Amino acid sequence: MIAMETILDVQDLQTYYRTGKQVVPAVDGVSFRLAKGEVLGIVGESGSGKSTVVRSIIRLLDKNTTRIENGRVLFRGKDLLKLSGRELRGIRGKSISMVFQNPLSSLNPVYTIGNQIQEAILTHESMSRAKARDRALHLLEQVEIPSPELRLDDYPHQLSGGMQQRVLIAMALACQPEIILADEPTTALDVTIQSQILELLSRIRDERNMSIILITHNMGVIAEMCDRMLVMYGGVVMEEGKCTDVFASPLHPYTLGLLASIPSLEEEKEELYAIPGQVPHFNAPVSSCRFCSRCDQVFTRCREEEPPFIQIGDGRFVRCWLYAQENETNNG
Amino acid sequence: MDNNPILEVKEARKSYPVTKGFISRKNIGTVKAVDNVSFNLYKGETLGVIGESGCGKSTLAKLIMGLTTLSGGEIRLKGEPVRPDMPLTMRRNIQMIFQDPYSSLDPRMNVRRIVEEPLRIHENLSKEEKNKIVLPIMEQVGLSAGALDKFPHEFSGGQRQRIGIARALVLNPEVIVCDEPVSALDVSIQAQVLNLFASLKKIRGLTYIFISHDMSVIKHVSDRIMVMYLGQVMEISSKRSLFGNARHPYTQALMSAIPEPNPAAMKNRIILKGDLPSPIHAPAGCPFQSRCPQAMDKCRIKPELKQVGEGHYVACHLVNEGVVS
């Protein structure tokens, strides 16, 4: 691959939740880069910290319970974590916008969808209402909503889930963003509607050369949509690489387990592989591999030290002592 | 399929009135939630029911459980009609596992009360006798005996689902209706619960009706599969025949819509246009005609389920035309 222009650079991001006396390391040292025009997938089970990562990027977090402890998020040379509220609002919804999981609860039930799209436009650009309405109409056309002039005056509850998600995508596109953060955009939808929305997102990406960070728990969606992927568990990235590489030869025992536990359409399996146990709760600081209690290849070192993020190949990383050992024995 | 079916569903119908107005409650139409569904369920098999939201799969589950009255047709469990007022001796043969492991367990009961509740209703047993039934079941579903004295909030989603399964098993039922039992769980936990269903089936010779919207889950658990759309059966067949030779355009689209966890497998995707029509304004004739890529004039007449192979039935005019091979 040619070295592409990096548009977003997340460095050692740490976001902690405080609940009572406990400190929960929801995101504990996550770094990645997003290139222009790239679709980056973040996959993980509930509680892995994937949503907190993207919410930290545009600081959509509850200030009372959440603190970004450390890290930098560089967007066009600026650290988003250091911007004032006013400066951040100039970027949020304009250069970086977000599509949420549950379309009905993300739309305001008492305003028409036309009104809500116009609001997104008028917040960032000064133009007449009539012009903004034209732009909203054009956006609805782009996201393939049938008879958009009629839908503009509909309220959210008058639309189906798939149509609501299209409206949210239209709002996210309103100011021609460079990055879209999509947090489980198809999880609430039926499969036939999901494939429509995924096709729409990849078409928009191709037309506008936008970058997308796509969060999902569905490995199939990642395989279909993404160029590169991060596998998250317990607040850290366990594995990173190009999708083709990760699916062809998963390295981390967690990634292997995740892939093996999906029932396959192609082959018959008598019994599915099941990762034993359940996602544990972590308290900061963590001093072992976060997966060690469920890993089937665990050894002493895993319980004593957290493994580093080890580079295996070109853009390929894994956080597992199995691979560190290999290097050491080779060297010695 | 040697002997008699354990459950017979014949032309089952359920429609709900659609009302308008808060006080006058005028009837403005009906929703046919389940429309003319027939199938037989044989002992020891798993029938997978798949469909998108609003296709009537949960209403069908309610009808089979006798939780709501039929608007037409009949359902027989071991020859006896299933009704909301059926006797307890019959009801204990069919139990249900629900989708949401959070709302289906009473937060104020401990696990012992939850799991023993069916026994309290159906039998009159001493503490020791109840323990004799409950303890082996807790072991079978993978929970320790110590769990009995805890409350639901102390468990994770996967463990709660195990509690729900234990509750369904204590009466030793023959048929279990599972309504989306794994869709609220993470994949690694989903695999654990699916394996549990398989092992219980082996140990206890259970018969399942397994409802899901996830084709890969349905394929994993089922012996036979029924595809539903807007309250009607589109296709019903053995798993092998359905996956080898799906005949209905809807089944084909449903299968091709599933994202495969394999970037190398670039398949020819059939992307359906439009949304599911509202069941209130379901099109006359074939319910799928508004989205079908192969719709024709004839589809305004409702197609009957036609046999196309051994145990393989399809409701589509294309089959008669010989267009679909």
B199 or B262: which carries more pLDDT confidence?
A: B199
A161-213 pLDDT, tens digit per residue, is: 889 999 999 999 999 999 999 999 998 888 889 999 999 999 999 999 999 99
Q: Do A223 and B187 touch (CB under 8 A)?
A: no
Is residue B195 in some structural domain? yes
In a domain, B193, yes or no: yes
Structure confidence at residue B21 (pLDDT) = 79
Strand, coil or helix: what is B164?
A: helix
Query: What pLDDT is recorded for position B1?
Result: 47
How far apart are alpha carbons B173 and B168 in whole angstroms? Answer: 8
For A41-54, how does the pLDDT look when each residue is reduced to its tens digit (9 = 90+)? 999 988 899 999 99
> Would you say residue B129 lies in a domain?
no
Please report the pLDDT score of residue A326 as a whole number: 58
The CATH number of the domain where B235 resides is what?
A: 3.40.50.300
The residue type of B244 is: G
Going along chain A from its start, the domains and CATH numbers come out as: 6-95+175-331 (3.40.50.300)
DSSP for B39-63, written as a single string: EEE-TT-EEEEE--TTSSHHHHHHH
Determine, yes or no, domain membership for B46. yes
Mean per-residue pLDDT of chain B: 90
pLDDT score of A325: 62
B273 pLDDT higher than 70: yes
| pLDDT confidence of residue A205 | 93
**Given this model, what pLDDT does residue A40 score?**
97
What's chain A's Rg over C-alpha atoms?
21
Residues of B with CB under 8 A from a CB of A: 52-53, 156, 158-159, 186-192, 194-195, 198, 213, 215-217, 219-220, 243, 253-265, 269, 271-272, 274-276
Report residue B126 as tokens: 């001493």
Q: What is the bridge-based pairing of β-strands A66-75 and A6-19?
A: antiparallel
Average pLDDT on B144-165 reads 92
Q: For testing the chain A interface, which of B202, B275, B281 should be mutated: the one with the most A CBs within 10 Å?
A: B275
pLDDT value at residue A331: 43
CB contacts, 8 Å: A274 with chain B: 188, 191-192, 195
Q: Is the pLDDT of residue B22 over 50?
A: yes
Quote the number of domains for chain B. Answer: 1
Q: Confirm whether B321 is domain-assigned.
A: no
Strands A66-75 and A78-79, bridge-based pairing: antiparallel
Task: Classify burial at A314, counting beta carbons within 10 Å of its beta carbon; exposed 0-12, middle 13-18, buried 19 or more.
Answer: exposed
pLDDT band at B325 (very low <50, low <70, confident <90, very high): very low
Compute the average pLDDT of residues A55-78: 92
Stated pTM of the model? 0.88
Predicted pLDDT of residue B266: 65
Percentage of residues of chain B with pLDDT beyond 70: 97
Collapsing DSSP states into helix, strand and coil, what is residue B4?
Answer: coil
Dihedrals φ, ψ of B17, to 5°?
-75, 145
Asked whether the beta carbons of residue A244 and residue B195 sit closer than 8 angstroms, the reply is no
Taking an 8 Å cut-off on Cβ atoms, the answer to whether B187 and A279 are in contact is no
**One-letter amino acid identity for B108?**
R
Query: What pLDDT score does B188 carry?
Result: 87
Q: What is the largest CA-CA distance in chain A?
A: 72
**C-beta atoms of A46 and B186 within 8 A:** yes
pLDDT digits (tens, 9 = 90+) for B112-139: 999 999 999 999 999 999 999 999 999 9
> Residue B324 — very low, low, confident or very high, per pLDDT cuts 50/70/90?
very low
Q: DSSP H helical segments within A125-177, as ranges?
A: 129-142, 148-151, 161-173
Contact residues on chain A for B56, CB-CB shorter than 8 A: none
Residues A111-116: contacts with CB within 8 Å, 24+ apart?
Answer: A111/A155, A112/A152, A112/A153, A112/A154, A112/A155, A113/A151, A113/A152, A113/A154, A113/A155, A113/A156, A113/A159, A113/A167, A114/A151, A114/A152, A114/A153, A116/A167, A116/A171
Cα separation, A42 vs A214, whole angstroms: 6
Separation CA A93–CA A82 (nearest Å)? 18
Span B85-114, average pLDDT? 93
User: In this complex, is the C-beta atom of A20 within 8 Å of any C-beta atom belonging to chain B?
Assistant: no
pLDDT at A58: 93
Give yes or no for A162 touching B (CB within 8 A): yes
Q: Tell me whether residue B143 is in a domain.
A: no
* pLDDT bucket at B314, cuts 50 / 70 / 90: very high
Looking at residue A23, its pLDDT comes to 86
Residue B184 covered by a domain: yes
Of the candidate ranges A5-14, A259-268, B118-127, B292-301, the one whose mean pLDDT is the lowest: A259-268
Side by side, the strands of the sheet bearing B80-81 are B26-41, B7-20, B72-77, B80-81
Q: How far apart are CA A221 and CA A214, in angstroms?
A: 9
Residue A321 pLDDT exceeds 70: yes
CB contact under 8 A, B219 and A190: no
In a domain, B118, yes or no: no
Given pLDDT bands bounded at 50, 70 and 90, which one contains residue A330?
Answer: very low
A-B CB pairs within 8 A amount to 119
Sheet architecture: strand order including A179-183: A96-99, A179-183, A211-216, A39-43, A228-233, A236-242, A316-318, A310-313
Binding-face residues of A in 185-204 toward B, CB within 8 A: 190-196, 198-199
pLDDT of residue A3: 59
In this predicted structure, the answer to whether residue B94 has a pLDDT above a threshold of 90 is: yes
Which is more confident, B279 or B208?
B208
Tell me the mean pLDDT in the region B142-158. 91
Per the structure block, which two tokens stand in for B119?
A: 């026994």
Distance of residue B124 Cα from the nearest chain A Cα, in angstroms = 36
The residue-averaged pLDDT of A258-284 equals: 84
Query: Minimal Cα distance from B198: which residue of A?
Result: A271
pLDDT in tens, A91-149: 999 999 999 988 888 999 999 999 999 999 999 999 999 999 999 999 999 998 988 99
Among A162, A198, A263, select the one facing B220 at the smallest CB separation. A263
**Interval A303-309 mean pLDDT:** 93
Mean pLDDT, residues B281-293 = 88
Mean pLDDT over A291-302 rounds to 93
User: For residue B177, what are the domain limits?
Assistant: 7-93+173-247
SS3 B23: coil
Average pLDDT over residues A229-241: 96
Distances B187 to A44, A316, B65, B243, B323 between C-alpha atoms, Å: 10, 24, 28, 23, 39
Rounded mean pLDDT, A258-281: 85
A65 alpha carbon, distance to own chain's centre:
21
